[in-house]
Structure formats: structure tokens, C-alpha cells
Amino acid sequence: MMVIKLPKFLDTHKRMGLSEETLRNMQDAPKDEFGVKHINLFYSDKEDKLFCLLDAPDKEAVMKHHEKAGVKPDWITEIKTTV
């Protein structure tokens, strides 16, 4: 069986008061209607920042994913990982 790997994206935006439990639930959620899946979420309480590592078909899907949640990322970039 062939596994197709989606590109990975990293973005950052305000944490917006999301609890750690909510972040864990987001990470465990299946792909959304845009094909976006959270791989890992990194956050800083001190800086009120959330960093999202995502599987997604393209940058546009990541943008739509955030727009649906009412979030405006500071930036989104496609990345490669060693994992």
C-alpha cells in the first residue's frame, strides 16, 4: 500500500486563550474539510503565541483552515522535517 505524504506547514498566531486541553483535542482531531491535520502544537503563555505544525495539501488550505476559526496567522511557511 502506497502512503502519500502531504506537505508540512508551520504557522504562528496569537494563542487566543486556548487551554492546553483544547490544543490537545485539536491535535487529535481528524483532517478538516480543507485536508488540514494538526501534527503538533507548540505554545508560549508568556508571549501569547501558538505555533502550528500541520499536514495540508497546500498553503491555501492552511489559510482557509485558519479563516474558518477566525484566526489570522502572522505567517505560514511550507517546511520539510526529518521525521
Look up the pTM and report it: 0.88
Q: Is there a domain that residue 3 lies in?
A: no
- pLDDT tens for 49-80 read 999 999 999 999 999 999 999 999 999 999 99
42 within 8 A of 23, measured Cβ to Cβ: no
Q: Is there a domain that residue 2 lies in?
A: no
Q: Is there a domain that residue 30 lies in?
A: yes
Q: Is there a domain that residue 45 lies in?
A: yes
Q: Is there a domain that residue 36 lies in?
A: yes
CATH number, domain at 29? Answer: 3.30.70.3090
Q: Is there a domain that residue 25 lies in?
A: yes
Q: Is there a domain that residue 16 lies in?
A: yes
Show the domain range for 37. Answer: 8-79
Dihedrals φ, ψ of 10, to 5°?
-125, 135
59 within 8 A of 12, measured Cβ to Cβ: no
Number of domains present in the structure of the chain: 1
